[in-house]
Amino acid sequence: MNLQKMVDSIKIRPDFDKVGMIACHDGVVRATSRDGRKVEGLSVEVDRDALERIVREMRNRTGIIELAVHLFEGYRRIGDDVMLVAVAGDIRENVFPVLEETVERLKKEVTRKEEYFLD
């Protein structure tokens, strides 16, 4: 899965004429942790039930036509994708907040990660 495939699947929806923008997020593994330590990679676990609940909820927000999410599980190396999110909606005032809240909730409520550090 990649962002382009997600966007393409949104663009073929029969109600795509209601979409004024698509905002995307591509979270990748970076070489340092938030506290500055060097990272080798990380392992990701996904709570599928929580994921479905959040996606369902966010799709019902005002102006949102579609929300697509793909989370990569297992071991990820530096530069690998971890989280892809695409939000399609009518106007940016509706789309950007949903993108931001979705990413934050996925990180807090759906994924569990373990970082592996270089010594």
C-alpha 15/C-alpha 34 separation (Å) is 40
Q: For the chain, what are the domain ranges?
A: 3-117
pLDDT at 119: 74
pLDDT at 102: 98
The structural architecture, per CATH, of the domain 3-117 is Alpha-Beta Complex (3.90)
pLDDT at 55: 98
pLDDT at 74: 98
* Residues 13, 64 contacting (CB under 8 angstroms): no
CA distances from 69 to 32, 39, 115 (A): 25, 25, 22
pLDDT at 107: 97
pLDDT beneath 70, residues of the chain: none
pLDDT mean across residues, the chain: 97
